[in-house]
Amino acid sequence: MGKPRYVKTLVPVSDGNITIYAGVRVANALQEVTKEMDLYQGVKLTELVEAVYQQGKKDGARAVQVSFEHVMRDIPHLNPGQPKKKKKK
């Protein structure tokens, strides 16, 4: 077995932790950025990560909604309505 492709990194935010599964390069970059960080910079980084996370959730929900609407356009899901009247001869 080789080394794992993704590294699990926990980022503490105001309402718990955000788990980030990233490659080794991203995990190392995060460790390097946070190595000599003071409290103020840590709070700013946390706000940034939280905003990116929330935007990702919104974008994901929007993508699901758009794909669902696309599928529903092709499915006849409405009642057929009143039958057409027959013409008298």
Does a structural domain hold residue 64?
A: yes
Owning domain of residue 48: 6-74
* Rounded Cα gap, residues 13 and 50, in angstroms: 7
The answer to whether 45 and 33 have CB atoms below 8 angstroms apart is yes
Does a structural domain hold residue 80?
A: no
Amino acid at 59: D
User: What is residue 23's DSSP assignment?
Assistant: E
Does a structural domain hold residue 88?
A: no
- Average confidence (pLDDT) per 10 residues, the chain, 89 residues: 78 79 84 84 85 90 90 77 81
Q: How many domains does the chain have?
A: 1
pTM of the shown model: 0.55
pLDDT at 63: 92
